[in-house]
Amino acid sequence: MMLGLASMTAREIRAGLLAGEFSAIEIAREALERVEREDVRVRAFLEVSKKLALEAAARIDAAVAAGRILELGPLAGVPVAFKDNMNLVGTHTTCASKMLDGYASPYTATCVQRCLDAGCIPLGKLNMDEFAFGSSTESSAFGPTRNPWDLDRVPGGSSGGSAAAVAAGLSPLALGSDTGGSIRQPGSFCGVVAVKPTYGAVSRYGVVAFGSSLDQVGPLARTVEDAALALNVLAGHDERDCMSQDRRVDFTANLGEGVAGMRIGLVRSFMSAEGLSSEVRAKVEEAAAKLEAAGAKLEEVELPHVKAAMSAYYVLGPCEAYSNLSRFDAVRYGHRTPGCESLAEQYEASRAEGFGPEARRRIMLGCYLLSSGVYDRYYYRAQQIRTLITRDYAEAFGKVDCILAPVAPTTAFGIGEIGDPTEMYLADMFTTSINIAGNGGMSMPVGLGCESGLPVGVQLIAPAFRDENMLRVAAALEREYGAALVAPGFADERAGE
């Protein structure tokens, strides 16, 4: 009998396991079989960790058999997949780059370990834009992932594999990382709940860095409750990440409270932005109307410096990427070109071969921006803009509890449709400012666009370390729109046979 994992939530899987309706081994085998059967169309996975999954399932079943059910964590028996910039012993961590092809994880990232400690079944590693540089997952050295809602379209990026795996019902939970929108934008494109917590809420230890002051790990799921359950597992201080904070809350506690009395902010400049499609604007306005009908008070808020966010981000991000990628020198680890006669020749040739076009582009840009005579003109000013944007959000959250905005200007675009890097960067026009300020933000699916028929997400932005605010609003929207659906063509019709 098939369990029908494609349509089951994390909460339902754990409850069924504890009730004895099925075993962890049955869960693991069905999940692995489903990935093998369905991922040939989506290509969300770069590596399937079958051995680790079955070993974890066996440990869970042994605990159940021994009567140690209370020892099982909140993700007991729940399959979880991880973006391939997160180290997990027993798997490779390639960052979807030739530079790290075949690199074996020497340790396990804190965010991954916390999921393992909570009882998850690790399914494997997910495709991404190379070193998280991109908004479509097309820059992966191992080929693009496809959007389960339309296999000719991108799933978004850089966490495109994570969003696609959840949307296709391959995994009820996945972890992604977000530097400028890389969880939220693919969440919107694939129609799943996608959460970027406040910077510092989740440890970054063991996650290969893109922009160290911008990166944040977060969950992707089909329900708000599942995302909140995952955050309960992930959040908290880690002594190996000095930026991680010790504020622990139950993110599921207020999901049923509704939005009556909450103040929801709308940003005029976002809603009138050039490039925002009419169907996305309509969905944001529709969501605002539903929140108002549910008792929320809508207020316009101003973010005076938000238009400079993209400019600041594409200074800060490449500078930090240039610094972080300098360690890939073909000496300690990374791709090594054979036959070079000198260390300098090997360094140059190996990096030229190992890094793809977008990675090289950002390395060169970061090198230039940090060079003498240029640093003060660009990097220093970008940091000043960062301070102003952070103040803008702080002032706005003095008036409102949560901000509602678009996630991306359009729905998912076609694979190969955008060739101009500058045009690709505009996919993050509504998301980068949140990373610059460090606030929490998430994408909540609100149905399909009236023109494209593809998923649309709205962005919910919370005050720093008040991520429960946006989850509460998201739960209210979920009651209006329903939980995220498995993409048509991937629903498991054989469940129960």
Q: Within 13 Å of residue 74, how many CA atoms lie on the same side as its CB?
A: 16
Same domain, 212 and 168: yes
Mean pLDDT of 67-80: 90
489 in any annotated domain:
no
Please confirm, yes or no, whether 158 is among the known catalytic residues: yes
Q: Which residues contact 258 (CB under 8 A, 6 or more apart)?
A: 294, 295, 472, 476
What pLDDT band is residue 493 in, cutting at 50, 70 and 90?
low
What pLDDT band is residue 422 in, cutting at 50, 70 and 90?
confident
| CA–CA dist 336, 350 (Å, integer) | 5
Do 413 and 290 meet the contact criterion of CB atoms below 8 Å apart?
A: no
The one catalytic residue in 83, 125, 196, 283 is 83
Same domain, 437 and 381: no
Mean pLDDT of 363-392: 96
The rounded mean pLDDT for the chain is: 95
124 in any annotated domain:
yes
Same domain, 398 and 358: no
In total, how many domains does the chain have?
2
The 8-class DSSP code of residue 190 comes to H
497 in any annotated domain:
no
Amino acid at position 258, single letter: G
48 in any annotated domain:
yes
Q: What is the pLDDT of residue 497?
A: 37
Same domain, 262 and 157: yes
The 8-class DSSP code of residue 7 comes to G
310 in any annotated domain:
yes
Do 119 and 53 meet the contact criterion of CB atoms below 8 Å apart?
A: no
Please work out, in degrees rounded to the nearest 5, the angle formed at the alpha carbon of residue 178 by the alpha carbons of 176 and 180: 155
Q: Is the pLDDT score of 179 beyond 70?
A: yes
Q: Is the pLDDT score of 274 beyond 60?
A: yes
The one catalytic residue in 97, 136, 158, 433 is 158
Give the model confidence (pLDDT) of 34-58 as tens digits.
999 999 999 999 999 999 999 999 9
Same domain, 311 and 284: no
Give the model confidence (pLDDT) of 216-264 as tens digits.
999 999 999 999 999 999 999 999 999 999 988 999 999 999 999 999 9
Q: What is the pLDDT of residue 248?
A: 82
Same domain, 173 and 282: yes
H/E run at residue 196: strand 193-196
Q: What is the pLDDT of residue 98?
A: 97
Range of the domain at 47: 5-270+276-303+394-481
The one catalytic residue in 139, 182, 350, 452 is 182
Q: What is the pLDDT of residue 54?
A: 98
94 in any annotated domain:
yes
Mean pLDDT of 439-448: 98
Same domain, 463 and 378: no
Q: What is the pLDDT of residue 494?
A: 44
Q: Where does residue 93 fall: left (phi above 0), alpha (psi -120 to 50 degrees), or beta otherwise?
A: beta
CATH number at residue 280: 3.90.1300.10
Q: Which residues contact 1 (CB under 8 A, 6 or more apart)?
A: 496, 497
Same domain, 50 and 120: yes
10 in any annotated domain:
yes
Nearest to 394 by CA among 442, 443, 431, 434: 434
Please confirm, yes or no, whether 105 is among the known catalytic residues: no
